[in-house]
């Protein structure tokens, strides 16, 4: 299959049961019918399993929240949707 943007050959990747066609040149992502629905269903299921903790309204005064000294990298939990585009 050809990329509709630049006419390059699309590459196919399958991640957790979802086929994704992508263009290595323009980095476009192309989904077939129903594949977006599968992704949305999986995200909804993952969000249902994740406990929702509201952020605290107060912060300790000695904590450094800026860039630099107190910054220890990205500690966000990875979701399966991030793995789709690795």
Output the pLDDT for position 45.
85
Task: Please tell me which residue, 37 or 79, carries the higher pLDDT value.
Answer: 37
* CB atoms inside a 10 Å sphere around CB 15: 14
**Lookup: tokens for 29:** 């992502």
Output the pLDDT for position 53.
64
Output the pLDDT for position 62.
56
pLDDT tens across 41-85, in order?
888 888 887 666 666 656 555 555 555 555 555 556 666 666 666
Model confidence, pTM: 0.48
Say what the alpha-carbon torsion angle 5, 25, 80, 18 is, to the nearest 10 degrees: 60
């Amino acid at each position: 299959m050809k990329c509709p943007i630049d006419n390059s050959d699309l590459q196919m990747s399958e991640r957790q049961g979802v086929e994704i066609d992508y263009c290595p040149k323009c980095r476009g992502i192309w989904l077939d019918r129903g594949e977006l629905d599968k992704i949305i269903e999986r995200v909804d299921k993952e969000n249902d399993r994740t406990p929702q903790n509201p952020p605290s309204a107060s912060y300790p005064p000695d904590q450094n929240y800026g860039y630099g000294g107190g910054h220890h990298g990205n500690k966000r939990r990875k979701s399966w949707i991030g793995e789709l585009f690795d």
